[in-house]
Amino acid sequence: MKLAVLTSGGDAPGMNAGIRAVTRTAIFNKIDIYGIKNGYKGLIEGDLIKLEASSVGDTIQKGGTILGTARSEEFKTEEGLKKAINVLNVYGIDGVVVLGGDGSFKGAKKLAENGIHTIGIPCTIDNDLGYTDFTIGFWTALETVTSAIGNLRDTSSSHGRAVVIEVMGRDCGDLALYSALAGGGESIIIPEREYDIDKIAKKAREGLMRGKKHNLIIVAEGAGNVFKIAKEFEEKTHIETKVTVLGHVQRGGSPCAQDRIMASTMGMRAVELLMAGNTDFALGMCNGKLIEMKFEEALNMPKKLDYQILDTVNVLSV
């Protein structure tokens, strides 16, 4: 048997732990394992390398992806898909493990529909997949954001300023929501809910009157323009307001234990599923248990906002 593994879309801390687990599980079971460089782009180009146990040595703690990642428009076309399938056939690959987010899973589903046995491992800092409680990379990014919020709180308190902090997440507010709870943010603005700048300003003024020195407004990137929000807030409160866009710093760094554990567990499970002749499954975590679900179902599961966390943020940031 021959298997292959690729990473696709935005990189996420923990991808290397996943590649390592897939590789080592395959080798443990005497299966040949190939790494496909740069996601579907590398697959189309036939950029494959044979992996050995040592190829993934000293990688469990590393951020990014040792295989490289890419976004490939060509793979979305019929012709691109055909080229990719042809490469897999030429190499005699029996199954592929795809590590990525929802876009990558749409590609994985197409491979599965075309007879390539394919399993997906959810890797994205956005935590925007509805079928799994958490995605690999989210917890590490959350640590990075929480740490940055702590730094901004220091300087915000010292100067009596407000700061509007933009965090990643595409259309999902989870990084903003969880970091507001972990970092003690005053207000959050997320795509899942309308925001009212008057309410945010009123809360800030009340805090100021009680002697609050800082004001942290955490904005998910998909929820609005941080510079516009900061301007409106400043006009309404007369509190000097700075903007910090955290950007790609959130994507890097050594994965935390939880992301490594999820990636390792899912990597091993993916190979076991392929060995048993399974295909077309996305792996996930529900209530602390490893689950598998057909790509179609997984991709159609709506992502829900955790209202309990939202309520907690609102109560604690009074």
- Which residues of the shown chain bind ligand F6P in the complex (CB under 6 A)? 10, 101, 124-126, 168-170, 221, 251
Burial of 30: CB neighbours in 10 Å, binned 0-12, 13-18, 19+:
exposed
What, of ligand ADP, ligand F6P, none, does residue 280 touch, CB below 5 to 8 Å by kind? none
- Check residue 250 for interaction with ligand ADP (CB under 6 A): no
What is the closest distance, in whole angstroms, from the C-beta atom of residue 176 to ligand F6P in the complex? 11
Contacts with ligand ADP, 2-41, as mask; x by CB under 6 A: ------xxx-----------------------------x-
Listed as own residue / partner, the contacts of 55-58 with beta carbons closer than 8 Å and 24 or more positions apart are: 55/23, 56/16, 56/19, 56/20, 56/23, 56/24
Q: Shortest CA distance to 64 belongs to which of 278, 282, 305, 253?
A: 253
**Which residues are catalytically annotated?**
126
Q: In what helix (H) or strand (E) does residue 256 lie, and over which residues does it extend?
A: none
Q: Shortest CA distance to 98 belongs to which of 226, 274, 237?
A: 274
- Check residue 100 for interaction with ligand ADP (CB under 6 A): yes
What, of ligand F6P, ligand ADP, none, does residue 8 touch, CB below 5 to 8 Å by kind? ligand ADP
Contacts with ligand ADP, 57-96, as mask; x by CB under 6 A: --------------xx--xx--------------------
Which residues sit opposite 168 in a β-bridge? none
What is the closest distance, in whole angstroms, from the C-beta atom of residue 138 to ligand ADP in the complex? 12
Residues in the chain: 318
- Check residue 135 for interaction with ligand ADP (CB under 6 A): no
- Distance CA(303)–CA(130), nearest Å, equals 4
Q: Which residues bind ligand ADP (CB under 6 A)?
A: 8-10, 40, 71-72, 75-76, 100-104, 106-107, 110, 124
